[in-house]
A and B are shown apart, each in its own frame.
Chain A
């Protein structure tokens, strides 16, 4: 029966080490994010740690978690103890706020609606653009195959849907017109993947479809990797996607990381943070950084969620809940 004493000693040792660790100058943050930001935060984290150590003498270790935006928000709601969340759309953070993990006014706590960077939805087409796709109107032409994920299971796909809707609303001037347009667009979708990465695979690897609706940063990355196969077409107008960030106040208070979590998110707004953001092909907010990197982004006109749709909560309800607009455009045939 040597097992029991060994167990006691090991667990004692573990307790002592862990308490020693928390007393020292090391802080750990958990950043729960969505899929395409892997490379971005891999670059942000060491830069922030360095700045923060220089300022306060404390060492910060930042752990990352990535997944679909909605699934990540659910994980946080169900108890994943994120100190900060950096997700694809505000509705997912609203859902966390609804459970009381942070204040409902979270979007006003940081600059630019708590979105340190923006992005948009562009078209990725095959080299030479054989179908001559230039604008949203070309996507509803017969014989054009459009690849986009299901907006009910993918956060990014919701931006795609709303971008198309915003274009059609402006053009036709009516909700009915927009609905008919978007309905026709989704008739041209031969494969409705459940996430953005899945759609990219379908388009790039499987060779299906004439045009992929994609995050701008993902499209630029795809071009960098396979220049001879694809090109980017920027439609004249698209939606300004504003992926938001927030401190999960309750978790941070519990871990004693409120201050460092705030500093982490504020770092994204500093010139240094904005540079890293631009280098990862997200559009920076800072005007001078934006000017410096302007050449790498296609030029197009934006409309915002706020100007065309209002807030995310109502938008989600109207378009993407059961029997919402998206369900209505799919009717049994």
Chain B
């Protein structure tokens, strides 16, 4: 394996990169992304195109599919929003305070990443069903969690939590306390310091966490089917409809619902990214 260094070409149309290996690494990136992301997605769209446009439209606007999409998207939205303050609080505690067991709690955050989602779903259902430890306390109060949309939201909060914490945490670490101290010494109240000094700097990270959590949870299947009860028009999620299509060997129908979800998610993600870019700009100024 002896490679002789060739004399560098003296003509370069593009501006020279300072770091070497640009071509190789970019080529690898493009290849890898195509292989892992684009080709499967393209295959999905091809499968979905097995349906005529009219069939696609009929399926996409059928009340059952619309209801499934509503349940999936609204639950993911609510769960990701709930995760913003919770995630911020946890990140804050982990970054700003020293206490025994901090490492342990820090490691605990990643548990929802590691746990198989089905296990998470079954565990939550066991706890929150009327026979469960938590469920039998809530039931007399008239609060039903398992087998309602509340249960779906709960599962998604669990799944999305690490994203909310881990996006904010490093930014908070890098922030330092000097600016806050300056704000306080210049006479700002605690509330003002938080809302006008700390929060704006964290906003891009918070939005990124929200986006990640949302993207991860909107298509969540494994944990949700155990706790949702899967009642049509009530707690039936869109991914379950995809599975139902597959069970009747209707690959095109399954792909069509998947493409629909993909499209909707894409629109929401673009919006979130735009918001994030705006927030970063504000911080930059």
B131 beta carbon closer than 8 Å to chain A: yes
Chain A residues at the B interface, C-beta cutoff of 8 Å: 1, 68, 70-71, 73-74, 77, 95, 150, 152-154, 189-194, 198, 201, 205-208, 316, 320-323, 327, 330-333
Q: Tell me the minimal C-beta distance from A200 to chain B in angstroms.
A: 13
Of B62, B125, B231, B232, the most chain A CB neighbours within 10 A belong to B232
Q: Is the CB of B131 within 8 A of A205?
A: yes
Query: CA of A73 to CA of B249 in the docked complex: distance in angstroms?
Result: 9
Neighbouring B residues of A201 by C-beta, 8 Å:
122
List 4 additional A-B contacts (Cβ < 8 Å) besides A71-B247, A153-B244: A1-B1, A70-B247, A190-B147, A206-B131
Q: Is the CB of B130 within 8 A of A150?
A: no
Query: CA of A190 to CA of B245 in the docked complex: distance in angstroms?
Result: 22
Chain B contact residue count (CB 8 A cutoff): 33
Known contacts A206-B130, A208-B129; A330 and B233 CB within 8 A of each other: yes
Q: Is the CB of B249 within 8 A of A95?
A: yes
Residue of A nearest to B233 (CB): A332
Neighbouring B residues of A206 by C-beta, 8 Å:
125-126, 129-132, 146
Q: Is the CB of B63 within 8 A of A332?
A: yes
Q: Tell me the minimal C-beta distance from B72 to chain A in angstroms.
A: 15
Q: Shortest 9 CB-CB distances between A and B: which pairs?
A: A206-B129, A70-B247, A152-B244, A330-B232, A191-B229, A207-B131, A192-B230, A332-B233, A332-B63
Q: Is the CB of A74 within 8 A of B246?
A: yes
Query: CA of A194 to CA of B242 in the docked complex: distance in angstroms?
Result: 12
The dominant DSSP class at the A interface is loop
Q: Is the CB of A322 within 8 A of B250?
A: yes
A-B contact pairs, 11 of them (CB 8 A): A70-B246, A74-B246, A153-B244, A189-B231, A190-B147, A192-B230, A206-B126, A316-B248, A320-B248, A321-B248, A332-B233
B240 beta carbon closer than 8 Å to chain A: yes
Interface string of B95-129 (1 = CB under 8 A from A): 00000000000000000000000000010011001
Neighbouring B residues of A154 by C-beta, 8 Å:
247
Known contacts A74-B249, A150-B244, A191-B147; A205 and B130 CB within 8 A of each other: no
Q: Tell me the minimal C-beta distance from A36 to chain B in angstroms.
A: 17
B64 beta carbon closer than 8 Å to chain A: yes
Neighbouring B residues of A70 by C-beta, 8 Å:
246-249
Q: Is the CB of B243 within 8 A of A153?
A: yes
B67 beta carbon closer than 8 Å to chain A: yes
Neighbouring B residues of A198 by C-beta, 8 Å:
225-226
Q: Is the CB of A191 within 8 A of B230?
A: yes
B209 beta carbon closer than 8 Å to chain A: no
Query: CA of A331 to CA of B234 in the docked complex: distance in angstroms?
Result: 11
Known contacts A153-B244, A316-B248; A194 and B147 CB within 8 A of each other: no
Residue of A nearest to B225 (CB): A194
Neighbouring A residues of B62 by C-beta, 8 Å:
322-323
Q: Is the CB of B244 within 8 A of A330?
A: no
Known contacts A1-B1, A194-B230; A322 and B59 CB within 8 A of each other: yes
Query: CA of A77 to CA of B246 in the docked complex: distance in angstroms?
Result: 12
B219 beta carbon closer than 8 Å to chain A: no
Neighbouring B residues of A73 by C-beta, 8 Å:
249
Q: Tell me the minimal C-beta distance from A238 to chain B in angstroms.
A: 23
